[in-house]
Structures are given as structure tokens and as C-alpha cells.
């Protein structure tokens, strides 16, 4: 397991804050109230471990198969529905939405191999990521891929109530490999994948796919 580069500043800050809080509490009250100090030490240690865990990159055998669309992130499938996309396609698409809690791996990966033909940052709100309007109202990054078969797919990185930074590493005209890293979202968020209407969906509501591993649909 590795630590994502996006997490280094947050982890360093968390360690310094952890040391500052616990050293000062120890000096000020540990002799008189040892129970309080131990409780605070345990709680702050749990928070520090959660922050470190959030930025983990687990070792995985990534999936690469041309006919499959692979989950772009870890999480829980919270929506599978036909929607009208007003941001790029201006047509109906099948939307698969995956919610990422703070306990999930937050690396985002390319669902298919192909060419990046469109990328757009959209400022917005910070509604909870499972809110139906988070797809259109929240801060988000839109990336559109064109497969060699000519079909197009839209992946949408969406900020949540806690996610205040979306990172997208793609550039327009870039040729990308399936399941390779395309971005990162910090602290609780969601990803939507908009597929052609004839795509065969391979997941169900409540499923918990793994990013870069689990097929969610096929052409």
C-alpha cells in the first residue's frame, strides 16, 4: 500500500496538529486528569489514522478489457437511472452514480481507454454527495472520453459536503489507458458515469465496486 501524493500536505499538517494538541494537554493536565489525556490521545490517534488511511493507494490487479467500462472509484452504487444530460451530450444517457464515504479509497481512475475529448471545471455548491441535485449543482469536474469504437462516455467528479478539492490530471486530446489514475477527490464525494443508452449495466443499487477493478457496464 502507498500514500497518494495529494495526501502528503494533509498528513504532515495532521501529524503536527496531533503533536501540538497532545503535548500541550499532557503538560497542562495529564498529572491532574490522566483519564482526560488518555481519552484525547485515543481520539486524536483515531482521527490521524483515518486521515492517513483516506489517502491510501492499495495494491491491486487492475482490469483492462476493451468491451468493459470499469468503476472509476471505490464506493457504493447509489443511482442507476436514465437522465437527460444538459452539460455535454444534450441527450438521454444512463447514469451510474458511486458514492465515496471518508472510509473509501479516493483515487479516481479512467473507466475506459480512449481519447479525452472534453474537460470542464464547474464551480458550485457542496450539497451532501448522495443528494439528487449534487450531480448538477455541486462543484464538479466533467471529463469526456471517446473509445476507439466511436462511443463516448462522461465521467463526473463531484464534490460533497466535506470534499473541498477536486483534482483532475487529464488534458484534452490525451490518450489514456483504462484503469489508470485520472484524479482525486478529498474527503467524501461522488462520481457519476454517463453511458450510452444501449450499454449493458453490470452492477445493481447497493453494490460496492472497486475502482480500476470492478466492471460496471459493457458496450
Cβ(176)–Cβ(145) below 8 Å: yes
Domain boundaries, the chain: 2-57, 68-218
* Coil, helix or strand at residue 127: coil
Per-residue pLDDT tens digits for 140-197 = 899 999 999 999 999 999 987 665 678 999 999 999 999 999 999 877 688 999 999 9
CA atoms of 219 and 208, how far apart (whole Å): 21
Which residues does residue 167 pair with via DSSP β-bridges, in sequence order? 184
Which residues does residue 158 pair with via DSSP β-bridges, in sequence order? 140, 190
pLDDT digits (tens), the chain, 219 positions: 789 888 889 899 999 999 999 999 888 888 888 898 899 999 999 999 988 988 899 889 999 999 999 999 999 999 999 999 999 999 999 999 999 988 898 899 999 999 999 999 988 665 665 556 666 667 889 999 999 999 999 999 998 766 567 899 999 999 999 999 999 987 768 899 999 999 999 999 999 999 999 999 998
Catalytic residue status for 10: no
Whole-Å CA distances, 209 to 80, 96, 134: 14, 12, 21
Q: Which CATH superfamily is domain 68-218 in?
A: Glucose Permease (Domain IIA) (2.70.70.10)
Strands (E), 26-180: 56-57, 68-70, 76-85, 91-100, 107-109, 114-122, 140-146, 152-159, 166-168, 175-176
- Out of 97, 134, 143, 189, which one is annotated catalytic? 189
CA atoms of 156 and 174, how far apart (whole Å): 17
pTM of the model: 0.86
Amino acid at each position: 500500500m502507498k500514500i497518494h501524493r495529494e495526501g502528503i500536505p494533509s498528513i504532515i499538517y495532521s501529524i503536527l496538529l496531533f503533536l501540538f494538541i497532545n503535548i500541550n494537554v499532557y503538560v497542562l493536565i495529564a498529572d491532574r486528569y490522566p483519564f482526560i489525556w488518555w481519552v484525547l490521545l485515543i481520539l486524536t490517534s483515531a482521527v490521524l489514522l483515518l486521515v492517513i488511511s483516506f489517502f491510501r493507494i492499495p495494491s491491486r490487479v487492475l482490469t483492462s478489457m476493451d468491451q468493459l467500462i470499469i468503476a472509476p472509484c471505490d464506493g457504493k452504487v447509489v443511482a442507476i437511472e436514465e437522465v437527460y444530460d444538459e452539460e455535454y451530450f444534450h441527450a438521454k444517457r444512463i447514469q451510474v452514480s458511486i458514492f465515496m464515504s471518508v472510509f473509501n479509497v479516493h483515487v479516481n481512475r479512467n473507466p475506459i481507454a480512449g481519447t479525452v475529448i472534453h474537460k470542464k471545471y464547474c464551480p458550485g455548491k457542496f450539497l451532501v454527495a448522495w443528494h439528487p441535485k449534487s450531480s448538477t449543482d455541486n462543484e464538479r469536474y466533467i471529463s469526456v472520453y471517446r473509445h476507439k469504437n466511436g462511443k463516448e462516455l462522461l465521467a463526473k467528479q463531484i464534490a460533497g459536503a466535506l470534499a473541498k478539492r477536486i483534482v483532475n490530471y487529464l488534458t484534452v486530446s490525451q490518450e489514456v489507458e483504462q484503469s489508470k489514475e485520472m484524479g482525486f477527490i478529498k474527503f467524501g464525494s461522488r462520481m457519476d458515469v454517463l453511458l450510452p443508452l444501449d450499454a449493458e449495466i453490470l452492477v445493481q443499487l447497493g453494490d460496492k465496486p472497486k475502482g480500476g477493478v470492478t466492471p460496471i457496464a459493457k458496450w
